[in-house]
Structure 1
Amino acid sequence: MVSFAVTTPIIIGIITDHLEIGLALCFGAIWCSPSDVSGRLKHKQVGILYASLLVVIVSFIGGYLKNLGFFLFPILGLLTFSISFISVYGFRASLISFSGLLALVLSFAHTTQTLTNLEHALLIGLGGIWYLCLSTLWFYINPKAQTEEAIIKTILQTADFIDTRKQIIGDKLNRGRLQSSLINLQSELAEQHVTLREILLLSRRSSGKSNYKNRRLMVFSQLVEILETANANPVNYDKMDEFFETHPKIKTKFQNLISELSLQLRTIAKNLKHTHKFSSNKLLSKAFNGLQNEILRFKNESSFKDYERYLMLQNFLDYQKKQFEKLKKIKWLLGNPELSSEDYQDNNKLKRFIEIRDYNPKLIIRNFSFRSTIFKHALRLSVAVMFGYAIGLLFDFQNPYWIILTIIIIMRPSYGLTKTRSKDRMIGTLIGAVLATGLVFVINNPYIFGAFGIISLVVAFSMVQKNYKASATFITLSIILIYAILEPNIFKVIQFRVLDTLIGAIISYSTMRWLWPAWSITEISENIKNSLEANTAFFKSIRNFYQNKGPVPTSLKVNRKEAYLQMSNLSSAFQRMAQEPESKQNHLDDIYELVVINHSCLTSLASLSTYVQNNQTSKASEDFISISERIIENLDQTYTMLKAINFKDSEINKPIFKLEAYEFPKNLITSDSILQTNNERTHKEAHLVWEQLYWLNSLSEKMLKLTSKFSH
């Protein structure tokens, strides 16, 4: 759609001999297109409208900047800061901000011939409205496209997560690397869940009860449950490793079963609208029966002391059976069954899963300080833009605005992303320049240059999110080929294009490194604290449900969502920190351990949550209550310590904090021994609950000891 929106005005402009009007409309469409991201239609429309309004104002002001002499620089800096500061209102606002910054930079490139400055600015705004109309029309032509795309992406990411979990089983050598990969995948899935949740829930509220939306909402619900169950692990890895070393055949059968679950998810994603192409359930049924027989054989051939291992295997197999049930339900839902009124979910409950964005003007005031990452980024960007343009004028570069265009595109609030984009931008520009040079030697036709230039621009836009280096290559190729139509000395264009990009990348990296840097170390304790708080709330919900029974409360699911979301934020914060200079990575190993412990807690909580929601459970014992209180006490104490910690300044204390002695009970479900009943279901429950509480208690103690090293 972006390609059509961009090329149509140019083609019409050429045909009607009004190319300048066509280019203005084209630029308006390009600059407003970043705001067209997944989400509710109303949000997309408002975002594009605001972007259109912003680019009109900025283009109008920018048209006079070149004539201001010395006053150009303070006004340029003020405009850059103001536009960039809009990002405090969230992701979509940051895209609107980016549109405004692009309009500001490229207003330097506009040399009017037939249009006044006001006419040019208004036409740019009209180009934005043209794009808005196309986007809205496309939505009504294919209203399901966005939902289907988001669901397919979620299914594929869930399959990736399951594949990684499969690899962790019995793989001690690579477990650390796989664990890091798992945390990153979970972070990506949590972000994708936020997007899909907004698409499904907000559009559902505006469109009423729709069978299609409800079916997709129920599919999404099953995908969330699949993620939680995939996270679940009936025991710690040490016990599984010990067993699988002596029984590799059972390990292989488990891995094959999980692989088939993942493969069937991928098949569903590939054939979302063609249910007859879904894999047969018989394949999984056969795999389950084979594994079940193998586990029973182990039970019959083993001594009584191996009964606990049998329970471990049965619980692990039960988790995979739950996955199979959810997979079958997804297939059924995608077959477009008619839903009864009981299948529709209460909108008031669904509202609790949506995070409402705060657009209060006071947010600007609250972020107007050096404590705000966005404030420092906006200030840093404005200085870099002024300095870059000054360099371009001082050395009389052909197009000095190319320098600040590079700065605008490269610079991001985080150091790691800015560094990566600087490198990719330079490499992509060099590759694009080499390809353009080769084409110039072979071709000498302006129409072919124009055609290749437009094609390259379309490819660049399609790859900007997937492969920034390739996108930079095609952007460079496009710009050089388009300029080749106007500039006879094409090699001079290539030379300045490369030089401007290199200077812009160096300025971006340098200012990010030394000018009001925002290091993650200053915020990481807040992310750890938030994740710990969310895990604690999730555990309390599980404990209350296990004690009180009854219908699964919405609060448990909301707390689960928040726990995964905060874990995602913590993972992202640590990734940013790991990409920063070593001198800014204080206590990296300890912080990473806290990240892993939080993730392990969430995994254990997922195990408990999945079990208690999907199985009939016994009455909670006094031991269960006392151990739960002990774990919560440890987590709360850790949270209190974290509130006073700043890892940037903290030093490790000695001696290390010592916990008071605690004797962990041997039995949780009843006061009698587990062997006094022949009820295998009770045995499995006792084993799983005891294992998870034992693991959670050890994790809470470990986190408490680790955190105490930094408390004063």
Structure 2
Amino acid sequence: MHYALNLRTFFYSHYFYLGLRFAAGLVGVTLITLQFADMAIAMTVCIGALCTALMDMPSPLRHKFNEMSASVLLCGAVTLLISLCAPYHWLLMTMLVVISFGACMMVVYGRKSMPLQLATLFIMTMSMEHSMTARESFIHTGLFTLGAVAYLAYAMGISWILRHRIKQQVLAEALFELAAYIDIKADFYDTRYNLTEQFNKLIRHQSLLADRQQASRDLILRAHNNTKDAIVVQVHVCMLDLYELILSTHTDYAQLRVHLVDSPVLKTLHDLAYKAARDIESVAYDVTRKKASYAEISYEPELDAIEAELGAIQQRISEGKPQQEALAVLRAQRNKVRAIIKMIGELHQASQKVYDTTPFWADADMGPFLSQQKYEFRMILSHLRWDSPIFRFSLRVAMAISAGLLIGAWLPYSAHSYWIVLTIVIILKPSFSMTKQRRRDRIVGTVIGCVITALILKFLSYPAFILGALVLSTVAMPTFVYLRYRYAAVAVSVMILLQMYLLAPGNENLIMERLVDTVVGAVVATAFSFVLANWEYQSLPRLVRGVLDVNLRYMQVSFDLLQGKGKDDFAYRIERKRLMDSLAGLSSALARMLDEPSSKQRAVEDINLFMVQNYLLMAHVAALRAILRRHTKELPAGQLNAMLAESHEQVVEILTHALAPHNAAAREAAGQAGEHALMSASTLSAQDAAAAAAALVPWSGWPLVQRRIRLLQADAVKIIVHSEAILRDVT
């Protein structure tokens, strides 16, 4: 369950705060307007506020102002344009199609532009039903803009007051997702779970975790100027360090299960991971409540049980039983778990300490860690080509809206074309999977909302109760729009139907008409989701190459860090973030592809394995860092760096072959080179092992380092195999 759907944490989440802010702004603007004007004017002002409120998301203050100002200007211009064109049917129909196409092209600016696209299309549909004179159009636009500006001022004021609170809430969400990530890792120790399925589940969740961590970075690292901000910065940095330690706990779980299948220590390891997840959740919960967090969970019983098992294994070895491998694997997991527990303790301490200054890299440029957004018109122009998915999506929406308008005019009953168009706009999304999910949620949510509204109007038709239901639905709509869209669809149906009832209480067919219009719009959107469709498999070569490119850079900075070439790990953190983001993008594409028709699915198993192998490379690097931190005594820097340099050369060669040009001859050559690289890696690992045993100075970390390097090289070679298989299936 999502943390914000739990009553214990729901009322502290930024989703609930957004719902309250949204509802208070809309209701407040409407009530103030009603003191000076009638209901029709108040609703126009309210719709202006609503369009701006759609852009009210957790963002840095400067970004929020720019985004909401863009909504005010763009939606105001669309309102005026549609109002002026309304008396001329042919011109109105033309402008509806043109504006729909232009609004959808804004998707080139990324996820942040999606609410702006929706706001533009929403006000377009709300304005198309009213025929006005030119003077009335300007007055109507002025009232709309008044509401939009009023909400902009209100939202900026509240966001400034709550700027630190919002940082805490977004940081807490990232911590909750990290705890959920550990819960998945815990099940690797449970023999009831299939390891392959668990890996796939882990990689899927990594995509969500990367998104939440990026949202935390964008808010926390852009502006951190006081002691309160210093605390959230330090907790954020500790969270990322803890995530790397969790990555380093990866081991050969199949081997672990084989060696310890009859031992209760597997359950002990599972319980330790489960406790760690609850411990991190306690930090997140305290952060949402603006409190310092203190450790309340004891790990001693489980740690004592592991020590007892290690002693028992050591005893069996002394009796001549071959359990050295089991001892090594369990001891390594014990060390990693202790490091994680220690880091969780530091996470608690980070929330307690009062800092004089922000504890972060001095004078460092945070730009590489933050989402970069450029709103340049040339980006739209660059996508005006047939092979652009966004261009095809824009054409698809324009054609669907044209069809919806024609059907609305043709239907024998009193159809409402604007509601059909609004349904199409809400359902039809850039990807088939998003459209499929939105269609299901929209239809189910509308049906439930219509039933709830009918029951209210039949049995509870009292002004006070209707007003209360209206306010409650207004709070629920933005609260759940990013959590469970189906709940948001229920809320928005109740909200709009009750508003229409208050404006026109005599319309007895109100609910049935909206229900039929929703079904018509859903059918049109479904039909056009197959028109000029852009299937996910078409983007796989680009995404795979992106992962390999970033991984190559990640390996470079990782081995530089391991060899002590840098003064800090700043560059390593940047490339680690980029690799996680690229894997998250590929994982999201795979999840969307699985919702598409089976005939459009390609290389599903190889994509899974490709992501797993790249994930393992990160895990091996994290493990190497942890090993070097634990075994600092008498560390032979010269010999160790020579081994790391040779290993780095091998891995770079392997990944470079995987990045060979995408044609048959190059792939064949890359495959042969990959086999050669595998043999070279194996040979080199054997030579290193022999050299370490015979020539190098004694050091306790040699066996662990050599084992990790062998695993790193072997997993790098497997990346070639799976990347080639993906290319064969999609080309």
TM-score scaled by length of structure 1:
0.90
What is aligned with 2:9?
Answer: none
Determine if contact 2:49/2:147 at 8 Å carries over to the other structure: yes
Separation in structure 2 between the aligned mates of residue 614 and residue 189 of structure 1, nearest angstrom = 28
Shift of 1:76: 1.1
Determine if contact 1:542/1:608 at 8 Å carries over to the other structure: no
What is aligned with 1:437?
Answer: 454
Alpha-carbon spacing, 1:499–1:656, altered in 2? closer, same or farther (3 Å) = farther
**1:202 aligns to what SS in structure 2?**
coil
Determine if contact 1:170/1:240 at 8 Å carries over to the other structure: no
**1:278 aligns to what SS in structure 2?**
coil
Shift of 1:89: 1.7
What is aligned with 1:310?
Answer: 327
Q: Structure 2 residue aligned with 1:466, among 470, 483, 498?
A: 483
The Cα offsets for residues 348-385 of structure 1, whole Å up to 9 and x where unpaired, read as 34333224223333212211112222222112111111
Alpha-carbon spacing, 1:381–1:615, altered in 2? closer, same or farther (3 Å) = farther
Separation in structure 1 between the aligned mates of residue 724 and residue 116 of structure 2, nearest angstrom = 45
The Cα offsets for residues 264-285 of structure 1, whole Å up to 9 and x where unpaired, read as 111111122565763336x135
Shift of 1:28: 1.2
CA RMSD between the two structures? 3.1
Paired letter, 1:386: S
Determine if contact 1:311/1:683 at 8 Å carries over to the other structure: no
Paired letter, 1:696: D
- State yes or no: 1:108 paired with 2:125: no
Shift of 1:168: 1.5
What is aligned with 1:693?
Answer: 712
- 1:289-328 matches, within 5 Å, as 289-303=304-318, 305-328=322-345
**2:221 aligns to what SS in structure 1?**
helix
Q: Structure 2 residue aligned with 1:575, among 591, 601, 614?
A: 591
The Cα offsets for residues 531-554 of structure 1, whole Å up to 9 and x where unpaired, read as 122222222222222234564332
How high is the sequence identity, in percent, across the aligned residues? 18
What is aligned with 2:57?
Answer: 37
Alpha-carbon spacing, 1:652–1:591, altered in 2? closer, same or farther (3 Å) = farther
What is aligned with 1:186?
Answer: 206
Separation in structure 2 between the aligned mates of residue 608 and residue 490 of structure 1, nearest angstrom = 71
Deviates more, 1:429-438 or 1:349-358: 349-358
Separation in structure 1 between the aligned mates of residue 50 and residue 165 of structure 2, nearest angstrom = 22
What is aligned with 1:61?
Answer: 81
The Cα offsets for residues 10-29 of structure 1, whole Å up to 9 and x where unpaired, read as 22344444323322221111
Equivalenced residue count is: 698
- State yes or no: 1:589 paired with 2:605: yes
What is aligned with 1:403?
Answer: 420
Q: Structure 2 residue aligned with 1:565, among 581, 589, 599?
A: 581
What is aligned with 1:479?
Answer: 496
- State yes or no: 1:267 paired with 2:287: no
What is aligned with 1:23?
Answer: 43
Determine if contact 1:437/1:491 at 8 Å carries over to the other structure: no
Shift of 1:448: 4.2
Shift of 1:509: 1.4
- State yes or no: 1:224 paired with 2:240: yes
The Cα offsets for residues 200-223 of structure 1, whole Å up to 9 and x where unpaired, read as 12123xxxx422223211211111
- 1:421-460 matches, within 5 Å, as 421-445=438-462, 448-460=465-477
Alpha-carbon spacing, 1:704–1:269, altered in 2? closer, same or farther (3 Å) = closer
**1:67 aligns to what SS in structure 2?**
coil
Separation in structure 2 between the aligned mates of residue 245 and residue 256 of structure 1, nearest angstrom = 16
Determine if contact 1:52/1:125 at 8 Å carries over to the other structure: yes
Alpha-carbon spacing, 1:614–1:357, altered in 2? closer, same or farther (3 Å) = farther
Determine if contact 2:477/2:492 at 8 Å carries over to the other structure: yes
Separation in structure 2 between the aligned mates of residue 356 and residue 51 of structure 1, nearest angstrom = 20
Deviates more, 1:564-573 or 1:90-99: 90-99
Separation in structure 1 between the aligned mates of residue 316 and residue 612 of structure 2, nearest angstrom = 38
Paired letter, 1:458: V
**2:163 aligns to what SS in structure 1?**
coil
**2:533 aligns to what SS in structure 1?**
coil
Q: Structure 2 residue aligned with 1:7, among 24, 27, 39?
A: 27
What is aligned with 2:170?
Answer: 150
Alpha-carbon spacing, 1:394–1:560, altered in 2? closer, same or farther (3 Å) = same
Paired letter, 1:332: Q
Separation in structure 2 between the aligned mates of residue 224 and residue 607 of structure 1, nearest angstrom = 15
- 1:542-561 matches, within 5 Å, as 542-548=558-564, 551-561=567-577
Paired letter, 1:492: N
Shift of 1:416: 0.4
Shift of 1:298: 2.2
- 1:526-675 matches, within 5 Å, as 526-548=542-564, 551-612=567-628, 616=632, 618=636, 619-620=639-640, 624-641=644-661, 643-644=662-663, 659-660=675-676, 661-662=679-680, 663-664=682-683, 665-666=685-686, 668=688, 671-673=691-693
Determine if contact 1:410/1:505 at 8 Å carries over to the other structure: yes
Determine if contact 1:349/1:554 at 8 Å carries over to the other structure: no
Determine if contact 1:634/1:704 at 8 Å carries over to the other structure: no
Q: Structure 2 residue aligned with 1:201, among 218, 221, 225?
A: 221
Shift of 1:107: 0.8
Alpha-carbon spacing, 1:494–1:218, altered in 2? closer, same or farther (3 Å) = same
**1:673 aligns to what SS in structure 2?**
helix
Separation in structure 2 between the aligned mates of residue 548 and residue 53 of structure 1, nearest angstrom = 52
Shift of 1:512: 1.2
TM-score scaled by length of structure 2:
0.88
The Cα offsets for residues 374-423 of structure 1, whole Å up to 9 and x where unpaired, read as 22211211111121122112225342100001111111101001011111
Determine if contact 2:293/2:348 at 8 Å carries over to the other structure: no
